[in-house]
A and B are shown apart, each in its own frame.
Chain A
Amino acid sequence: MTGQDTRHLPLEDLHQAAGARFGAFAGWSMPLTYPAGVMKEHLHTREHAGLFDISHMKLFAVGGPGAAALLNRACPLDVGAMEISQSKYTFFLNEAAGIIDDLIVTRLGDDRFMVVANAGNAVEDEKHLLALAAAFDASVQPLDRVFLAIQGPDAWAALARAGIETGSLLFMHGIEPRQNWFMSRSGYTGEDGFEIGLPEADARDLLAKLLEDERVQWIGLAARDSLRLEAGLCLHGQDLTPEIDPASAGLMWAIPKEVRAAGQFIGADALRSILDRGSSQKRVGLKPEGRQPVRAGAALIDADGHPAGHVTSGGFGPSTGHPVAMGYVDAALAKSGTKLFADVRGTKIPVDIKPVPFTPHRYRKG
């Protein structure tokens, strides 16, 4: 992607005023850090409330009499079985059951749904969904919204102070609190929090109130990555790709049992045969010994020096106080407690396979 294609956030002026350092991500110029720095931003989110501009992500409104049938084809879900306001983590799969993107689908009405997709895949997702929609009585509308996340134990109180009541909304539920707003109790940090899509003018009004609150601080993409990694959440393009299926990724919990057995989603046959024969590699959490981070791309080897897998995400966990990583290893090795080594510039760093998350999730489930 060349510089002239770089997209800019609608609220870029606010980030500049806040002293953000910008960097390229998925074709966007994004705030990477603010003057507090990644370490303090990360810890602030876990202790108070972190505010993230995630307007690079894409919201699609899917509606019409055939909307449920369209989504049941596009995703391994039974959206007709979802309650109104319920959200589900799911995927677009290809015919080989590879993950084109991971998404959150929320049922807003009998035949109205909101799909939230990753920035890096937004163009592909839109094409994919529109192509599929032609066979159904359904519309797919990409929305032009500012998209904000507010995450952390004080997120709900900060929103309440800003005039947004969240009391009855539970984790993985989404509503339309005002015209052209979409708000869900969800996020990418492992903390309680909310994601809010809204028109730019409304966003500026809301932010003016939120930023008066000392519990609320802007958080950049660098801390967003360390927060999600500690929480054991996957990043598409690293931990998930079109070559990785939900079973290998350890994400079968996202696919209801009946859908696994009888769903007519794209990739269903391939996924069923992968489940029958078992995955050759599995995603695991990795805890490197010592303080040296082990990063994406590092090879993993076993005690005898044989290839065992590779790291897909890695860095330092500011809350855990040690390096954290995720990767794929041979299925036979994918057990908590297995000891492997990561090759970091020729040095063999011992790593233990650990269950994720590295920091406990603190979602508000009821």
Chain B
Amino acid sequence: MPKTYFTEDHEWLRVEGGVATVGITDYAQEQLGDLVFVELPEIGRKLAKGDTAVVVESVKAASDVYAPVDGEITEANGTLSADPSLVNSAATGDGWLWKMKLANESQLDSLMDEAAYKAHIG
């Protein structure tokens, strides 16, 4: 049964079998506005928590999406190259950004669950 976590930087992680699928929340995509480009990470790249993993570009601005935990990129959502607006229309579904193999699952303990995240965004 996958478990979903949230960060203060408005990312979500769905964790199953030591691998996290990561995206931005609906709140985040609303704040960013219409996305026109997603700069995807290379497979195999090792990330430390806080590293820039992906850059999402709206009409107006570029924004970094950070690695919420340590790990290694195992997959990037290539469909976003052709259709970055999927992040707007399906932020928590088909608009996922990357998958990463977790280096340290205990880091998940410091993240929020959905109820805590909802309280965080008010």
List A residues at the B interface (Cβ < 8 Å): 32-33, 37-39, 42, 222-223, 225-226, 291-293, 295, 315-316, 318, 323, 345
10 cross-chain pairs, A with B, having the tightest CB-CB distances, nearest first: A316-B36, A39-B34, A38-B59, A292-B37, A316-B59, A222-B60, A291-B37, A37-B34, A293-B57, A38-B33
Cβ B34 vs Cβ A295 within 8 A: no
Beyond the given pairs A39-B33, A316-B37, 10 more chain A to chain B contacts, judged by CB atoms under 8 angstroms and listed by A's residue number, are A33-B33, A38-B59, A38-B60, A39-B59, A223-B59, A225-B60, A291-B37, A292-B57, A316-B57, A318-B59
Cβ A315 vs Cβ B37 within 8 A: no
Which residues of the other chain, A, contact B81 by a CB distance below 8 angstroms?
A: 291
Cβ A222 vs Cβ B33 within 8 A: yes
Is B75 among interface residues, defined by CB-CB distance under 8 A?
no
Cβ B33 vs Cβ A293 within 8 A: no
A-B contact pairs, 21 of them (CB 8 A): A33-B33, A37-B34, A38-B34, A38-B58, A39-B34, A39-B59, A42-B59, A222-B59, A225-B60, A226-B59, A226-B60, A291-B36, A292-B39, A316-B36, A316-B57, A316-B58, A316-B59, A318-B59, A323-B37, A345-B39, A345-B55
Closest Cβ of chain A to B27, distance in Å, is: 12
**For residue A42, which residue of chain B has the nearest CB?**
B59
Is B111 among interface residues, defined by CB-CB distance under 8 A?
no
Closest Cβ of chain B to A293, distance in Å, is: 5
**For residue A223, which residue of chain B has the nearest CB?**
B59
* Cα-based distance from A222 to B81 in the complex (angstroms): 23
Closest Cβ of chain A to B52, distance in Å, is: 9
Q: Which of B39, B55, B59 contacts A315 (CB 8 A)?
A: B59
- For B, the interface residue count at a CB cutoff of 8 angstroms equals 14
* Cα-based distance from A216 to B7 in the complex (angstroms): 39
* Cα-based distance from A222 to B61 in the complex (angstroms): 10
Interface of A is mostly: mixed
**For residue B39, which residue of chain A has the nearest CB?**
A292
* Cα-based distance from A38 to B58 in the complex (angstroms): 9
Is B90 among interface residues, defined by CB-CB distance under 8 A?
no
Among B33, B37, B39: residue with most chain A CB under 10 A = B33
Among B34, B39, B59, B60: residue with most chain A CB under 10 A = B59
Closest Cβ of chain B to A111, distance in Å, is: 43
B residues 67-104 near A (Cβ < 8 Å) are 81, 84
Is B108 among interface residues, defined by CB-CB distance under 8 A?
no
Cβ A315 vs Cβ B60 within 8 A: yes
Which residues of the other chain, B, contact A291 by a CB distance below 8 angstroms?
A: 36-37, 81, 84
* Cα-based distance from A295 to B62 in the complex (angstroms): 9
* Cα-based distance from A225 to B59 in the complex (angstroms): 10
Closest Cβ of chain A to B108, distance in Å, is: 29
* Cα-based distance from A42 to B36 in the complex (angstroms): 14
Which residues of the other chain, B, contact A295 by a CB distance below 8 angstroms?
A: 61-62
**For residue A347, which residue of chain B has the nearest CB?**
B39
Which residues of the other chain, B, contact A38 by a CB distance below 8 angstroms?
A: 33-34, 58-60
Which residues of the other chain, A, contact B61 by a CB distance below 8 angstroms?
A: 295
Which residues of the other chain, A, contact B60 by a CB distance below 8 angstroms?
A: 32, 38, 222, 225-226, 315
B residues 22-75 near A (Cβ < 8 Å) are 33-34, 36-37, 39, 55, 57-62
Closest Cβ of chain A to B72, distance in Å, is: 21
* Cα-based distance from A42 to B33 in the complex (angstroms): 13
